[in-house]
């Protein structure tokens, strides 16, 4: 198994942290190999940024995403920048309150949306939107086990915020369950 994923959004959303946590869940808690390459716009906060993550059962020799099979977009600018790089049949996941699917598509692959930012705002902490999206990614893609992701989140967030972040993660996973149930119905 080898999967290439790009998580994109704007600086300040915790996109790079999301990539780090996803890779940590794979490497430390699921005994897989993972790489992370990050990119920022010239302004950093507020401009497009992306985390490129590769997860594999075997050693990874090239850390760059070349065949983007999964795109998780948390901003319109990120979506617009990377939608055309999604492979044929690739999985498209996006924040339903920040991204309008104006062009492109999943190239015949699965598409699902979650209200990550809206949910984080309802929780009183917009800063956990990235963790809601991580839960959604985890549930929709099964790249890592839910337990591995829980442990990676718990050990990666600032002390004192573990409960809030784990709740955000669970909400994201529940959105994934709902999305999968709709597709099976």
Q: How confident is the model at residue 7 (pLDDT cuts 50, 70, 90)?
A: very high
72 contacts 90 by C-beta, under 8 angstroms: no
pLDDT at site 136: 98
CATH number for the domain spanning 34: value is: 3.40.920.10
Task: Print the domain residue range for 56.
Answer: 2-184
Rounded distance between C-alpha atoms, residue 180 and residue 119, angstroms: 19
pLDDT at 4 over 70: yes
Q: How confident is the model at residue 47 (pLDDT cuts 50, 70, 90)?
A: confident
Rounded distance between C-alpha atoms, residue 83 and residue 97, angstroms: 17
Number of domains in the chain: 1
164-128-107 Cα angle (round to 5): 130
Rounded distance between C-alpha atoms, residue 152 and residue 157, angstroms: 9
pLDDT at site 109: 78
For 67-122, write each residue's pLDDT tens digit: 889 999 999 999 999 999 899 899 999 999 999 886 555 566 788 999 999 999 99
Rounded distance between C-alpha atoms, residue 38 and residue 51, angstroms: 5
Q: pTM value?
A: 0.91
């Amino acid at each position: 198994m080898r999967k290439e994923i790009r998580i994109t959004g704007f600086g300040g959303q915790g996109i790079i942290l999301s990539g780090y946590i996803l890779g940590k869940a794979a490497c430390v808690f699921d005994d897989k190999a993972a790489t992370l390459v990050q990119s920022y716009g010239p302004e950093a906060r507020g401009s497009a940024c992306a985390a490129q993550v590769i997860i594999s059962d075997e050693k990874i020799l090239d850390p760059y995403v070349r065949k983007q099979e999964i795109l998780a977009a948390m901003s319109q600018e990120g979506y617009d920048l990377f939608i055309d790089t999604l492979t044929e049949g690739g999985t498209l996941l996006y924040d339903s309150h920040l991204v309008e699917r104006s062009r492109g598509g999943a190239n015949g692959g699965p598409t699902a949306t979650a209200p990550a930012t809206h949910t984080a705002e309802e929780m009183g902490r917009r800063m956990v939107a990235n963790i809601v999206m991580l839960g959604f990614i985890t549930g929709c893609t099964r790249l890592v086990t839910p337990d591995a992701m829980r442990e990676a989140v718990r050990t990666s967030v600032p002390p004192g915020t573990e409960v809030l972040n784990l709740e955000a993660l669970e909400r994201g996973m529940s959105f994934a369950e709902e999305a999968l149930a709709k597709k099976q119905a």
